[in-house]
Amino acid sequence: MTLKTELIRRVWEKVNAGRQGYKERLRYDDIERIINTFLEEIAQCMIDGEDINLRGFGSFVSNIRKGRIAHDTFNNQLIRLPERRVIKFNISKKVDQHVRGEKKYERISE
């Protein structure tokens, strides 16, 4: 599990790789502010019910789950679950193949 602070540190290191001197390097606080603002905007879009598509990474889709009758096994009763909005993440094919370690088929010489 990667924490947000670890993510910020990794981005800071990659952005500043190969940069020399204080003036060329971006400050850690700036990277942290950028990532926090990005995450806040994604959260606000989800709150507003908007779908988010990050090309090459995946998409967050808002769906409505219908209300239904369920069985509470602890109290042995039927309960009514109301309709609610859920967020689903669909990973892109490219990222999914990379995570699974799938490679394209190689042609073996005959």
CATH number of the structural domain spanning residue 97: 4.10.520.10
Type and span of the H or E element at 85: strand 84-91
Question: How crowded is residue 92: how many other Cβ atoms within 10 Å of its Cβ?
Answer: 15
Query: Residue 17 belongs to what domain range?
Result: 1-48
**Model confidence over 24-64: pLDDT tens digits?**
788 899 999 999 999 999 999 999 989 999 998 999 999 99
Same domain, 41 and 60: no
Type and span of the H or E element at 69: strand 68-72
| pLDDT for residue 104 | 63
> Is residue 108 in some structural domain?
no
| pLDDT for residue 82 | 95
Provide the domain count of the chain: 2
| pLDDT for residue 100 | 85
Reported as a pLDDT band with limits 50, 70 and 90, residue 2 is: confident
> Is residue 109 in some structural domain?
no
- By CB atoms closer than 10 A (0-12, 13-18, 19+), residue 48 is exposed
User: Hunting for tokens 């005959």 — which residue is that?
Assistant: 110
Dihedrals phi, psi of 10, to nearest 5 degrees = -65, -45
| pLDDT for residue 1 | 77
